[in-house]
């Protein structure tokens, strides 16, 4: 997973995280509790299946953009799988 943040002033932050660290069964076990606080109800099994399918999608579609945001002041945030 790659996270890129560019500020309009010229500063750039690049983070590269191993997808296996972010998208694993341990993360899937914490996901339902966090989503419950946001008002979204899913079971642990559903979260586990979601993470598994997201990993499968990541392997087929390398460098896929999850998020691309451009602020009014020129800041850019880009998150890729």
Q: Over 90: is that where the pLDDT of 45 sits? A: yes
Please report which confidence band the pLDDT of residue 75 belongs to, taking 50, 70 and 90 as the band edges. Answer: very high
Q: How far is CA 31 from the centre of its chain?
A: 12
Q: pLDDT averaged over the chain? A: 90
pTM: 0.69
Mean pLDDT confidence for 59-74 = 89
Are residues 19 and 55 in contact, defined by beta-carbon separation less than 8 angstroms? yes
The model's pLDDT over 14-40, given as tens digits with 9 standing for 90+, comes to 999 888 888 888 888 888 999 999 999
């Amino acid at each position: 997973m790659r996270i890129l943040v560019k500020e309009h002033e010229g500063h750039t932050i690049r983070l590269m995280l191993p997808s296996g660290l972010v998208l694993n069964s341990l993360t899937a076990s914490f996901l339902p509790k966090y989503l419950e606080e946001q008002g979204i109800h899913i079971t642990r099994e559903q979260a586990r299946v979601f993470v598994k399918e997201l990993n499968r999608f990541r392997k087929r579609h390398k460098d896929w953009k999850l998020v691309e945001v451009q602020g009014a002041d020129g800041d850019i945030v880009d998150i890729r799988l």
